[in-house]
Structure 1
Amino acid sequence: MSITETLLRPLLATAAAKPAITHYDDATGARIELSTTTLANWAAKTANWLVEEFDVEAGDPVCVRLPAHWQTAGVLLGAFWCGAHVVSDDAGAAVAFVPPDETAKSVQAAETAIVAFDPLGQGLRTPPPGGAFDYLSDAKLAGDDFSPMPPINGDTPALLSATVDEVLAATRKRAEDLGIGAGDRVLSTTEWTLPDGLIDALLAPLSVGASLVQVSNADPAKLANRRTTERTTVDLLG
């Protein structure tokens, strides 16, 4: 079973409507909340898009070079769901997901997908340059459900040098080490660097049924108020 199925299936069964990720961007003032169902839908759309548009198969490298953001969560969980091997190096990757300030000309992957990071999930305002794809505009047209064919095996490469099973084991261990448990609300300013930041600040909370309050471009003066208003119980301050 894939990383994404392993993490989200229990949450969809018991907490589908509850917040999975609440994302703040202190640079823009945006606040977006995604339920488990909405997060799973974005992951499914991404997985379907990767398979249908780029023929991504289990073990194929997909580069994700994005900051911590709710849209990045959709990209990562979608890539894991279809069995892609998430890497940080774009050379040789089937697809590279990059922010708008990178262009297809600077990327060595076979294809480039630009993530707009619009607060409301809108695509790029102008067509992407150099034959790149507009992730938000294109992926949102894909299906809301995904079933990998064939199922993803535990020994499939998943994150840099780690397999699916190794990532899941590391995720559970880090949740325990960080004191994150079921029902916790985790306030995080940690970037999702590969692999440690991603495991600690996204996968570990999901693995134990915690929800994440992720703050981008964090204003330290606002963190105390966030703890109160969001009722957070654990800090991951990068």
Structure 2
Amino acid sequence: MNATDRTPADLLRSALTADPARPLITFYDDATGERVELSVATFANWVAKTANLLQGDLSAEPGDRLALLLPAHWQSAVWLLACSSVGVAVDIGGDPAAADLVVSGPDTLEAARACRGERVALALRPLGGRFPEAPVGFADYAMEVPGQGDRFAPYAPVDPDEPALSVGGTELTAAQLVDRARGDAAERGLTPGSRLLSGLSYRSWEGLSAGLFAPLAAGGSVVLCRNLEKLAPEALEQRVTDERVTHRVV
């Protein structure tokens, strides 16, 4: 990663320049048996499309606040980086009524209706599948994002010193987020090529760092596991072997 990177979107651009073909996120849902692997290039393409959706169709601007009501999931990671690309601050599990936009999973739709701004719903089905019927009052992400552009350019430059993330009562600017991610990566011993397996929730900084930001800052990758408690210990050890995991946080 480049020392000049000051936002999560900068970190992703550096990863794309360094090695676009390497895995970045390998996602497991142990309640459904789903496994999805995204290379840096594939992940960056999802981010660009989502950022275009945010900036274009949803009219999001730098300084807007987005309540993210999603679990630890590869699509959650896409939204985090898309918001960074636009300059939208993400409030993890935030109050939809106090947000300019809300992004919700299928289990939090009723709470998300309190948002008076744009509402986006994700079915969180395998391979990014859509809802059988889009929830009333929400844009179905899986229907809206495929037609978006594969390249993204912000209308306004993103200020790394503006708020980027709020989680667990702590608010971080983009630059502070990158600094903390780098510090966590060093503390965990992550280096380029490291593979960190995380079973932590995205509702805490520790979970966000282990499940996305620290591996990204180090030039490594993450094996992100949802519902890991459903996996037998011997199956977990087999996964560690199969996925060439070098570090783990469960």
Same fold per TM (> 0.5)?
yes
One-letter identity of the residue aligned with 2:215: P
TM-score (norm 2): 0.89
Structure 2 residue matching 1:187: 3-state secondary structure: strand
Percent of aligned pairs sharing the same letter? 38
Q: Distance in 2 between matches of 1:23 and 1:100?
A: 18
**Offset, 1:25:** 1.0
8 Å CA contact 1:21–1:34 kept in 2: the answer is yes
Aligned to 1:44: 48
Aligned to 1:97: 103
5+ long unaligned stretches in structure 1 = none
**Offset, 1:200:** 3.0
Q: Distance in 1 between matches of 2:245 and 2:191?
A: 12
One-letter identity of the residue aligned with 2:210: D
**Is residue 135 from structure 1 mapped to residue 147 from structure 2 by the alignment?**
no
1:1-238 correspondence runs (5 A): 3-87=7-91, 88-103=94-109, 106-109=112-115, 110-129=117-136, 131-160=137-166, 161-218=171-228, 219-221=231-233, 222-237=235-250
**Offset, 1:31:** 0.9
Q: Give 4+ residue runs of structure 1 displaced > 6 Å after superposition.
A: none
Instruction: Provide the aligned length of Structure 1 versus Structure 2.
Output: 236
One-letter identity of the residue aligned with 1:214: L
* CA displacement, residues 17-47 of structure 1 (integer Å, 9 cap, x when unaligned): 1111011111111111001011001111111
Q: Distance in 2 between matches of 1:233 and 1:111?
A: 40
Q: Distance in 1 between matches of 2:64 and 2:204?
A: 17
Q: Distance in 2 between matches of 1:86 and 1:94?
A: 10
* CA displacement, residues 169-228 of structure 1 (integer Å, 9 cap, x when unaligned): 111111112222211011111111243321232111111111111111111422100111
One-letter identity of the residue aligned with 2:163: P
Root-mean-square deviation (CA, aligned residues, Å) is 1.6
